A = this chain, B = another copy of it.
């Protein structure tokens, strides 16, 4: 069935029945002018928004509708994780074409709902409108205990610069998808190279997992001074910390955690693995700075964390120390939207 046949209110009713908002903090979910939530007296509120636009952020030749939903919600959860908090509830604005299959809208919503459930919150409201291309705007409300709140502006000279996980897979996966999208077709007549090539190769790009659990471990066990999630690339996001904290950074090339998949794929893609690690956006790993006295605590974490450098007093300057101890100045570079 096409959306045109079901109609706006039919679709809202369907979402409401299939994906009811649940949780002890929710007074009222979908079906009124606003959602209503109980507030928590001691916590600070976190509020963020992030959107995905067809052909700009995702191509349906590579993504399933569920992937798109997962990615839309993940980007927002990652922002909450980057502040040290926990998500509370989400509202979604969906721009959908008339001819879209109702089943596809359900898969899209299901991807968002799956991420919400995974991280213990619900979609509590939304807006649906007509659009030539699919556009998804998610707004996410979260909370954080004041003592755990982490800003970009708190980095201090001498801090250790740390990053979770391994880097580079999102961009390498995207390039591989683009390269193979034309050659691979599945039986439905739709090319889904992600499936054919082995989905795990592209997971980081197609359906990333925000580091929320990891963030909560970090804020509990370390004295973190600043944090950001990697959405514009390691250097792009490091630069945001430097700007807000008015400090500089020195990185060590041999400490940057490059994904093993990227090391394998880089010869195929004819790019340096390090470049993927430095510039790949949408990684959704956490980049943070801790007091250097915390170096022992860094050893005893469940979360994989690499110390990749240190904060310097040279405001806005990013340096890289290579394997031969030679120092070069790095350029900030990331995804350019316009």
Tell me the A residues contacting B by CB distance below 8 Å: 3-4, 6-8, 11, 27-28, 31-41, 43-51, 53, 56-57, 78-80, 82-83, 85, 89, 91-93, 95-96, 98, 124-133, 135, 137, 139, 141-144, 149, 151-153, 228-229, 244, 336-338
Which of B46, B80, B91, B144 has a CB less than 8 Å from the CB of A47? Answer: B91
Query: Which residues of chain B are within 8 angstroms of A40 by Cβ–Cβ distance?
Result: 39
Does the CB pair B31–A152 fall under 8 Å? yes
In the bound complex, how far is the Cα of B39 from the Cα of A91, in angstroms? 19
Task: List 21 A-B pairs, Cβ < 8 Å.
Answer: A6-B338, A32-B152, A32-B244, A33-B48, A33-B80, A33-B228, A34-B82, A34-B85, A36-B45, A39-B44, A47-B89, A47-B91, A49-B125, A50-B93, A51-B129, A53-B131, A56-B129, A57-B129, A93-B93, A129-B337, A130-B338
Q: CB distance A149 to B36 under 8 Å?
A: yes
Q: Which residues of the other chain, B, contact A3 by a CB distance below 8 angstroms?
A: 338
Please, how many angstroms separate the alpha-carbon atoms of A169 and B215 in the complex? 52
Residue in B closest to A50 when the chains form the complex, CB atoms:
B127
Q: Which residues of B contact A133 (CB under 8 A)?
A: 131-132
Q: Chain B residues near A141: list those with CB within 8 A.
A: 45, 47, 141
Q: Which of A34, A36, A79, A144 gathers the greatest number of chain B CB atoms within 10 Å? A: A34
Considering the chains assembled together, what is the distance between the CA atoms of A46 and B125 in angstroms? 10
Tell me which residues across on chain B come within 8 A of A6, comparing CB atoms: 338
Q: How long is the Cα–Cα vector from A6 to B89 in the complex, in angstroms?
A: 34
Closest Cβ of chain B to A237, distance in Å, is 10
CA–CA, A322 and B47, complex, Å: 49
Chain B residues near A53: list those with CB within 8 A.
Answer: 95, 129-131
The residues of B that contact A229 with a CB separation of less than 8 Å are: 33
Residues of B within 8 A of A34 (CB): 46-48, 79-80, 82-83, 85, 142
> What CA separation (Å) do A49 and B96 show in the bound complex?
16
Are A98 and B338 neighbours in the complex by a CB distance under 8 Å? yes
Contact B137 A51 (CB under 8 A): yes
Cα A83 to Cα B141 in complex, Å, equals: 19
Q: Which 7 A-B pairs have the closest CB atoms?
A: A139-B139, A137-B137, A41-B41, A33-B82, A8-B337, A93-B137, A49-B91
Contact indicator A83/B228 (Cβ below 8 Å): no
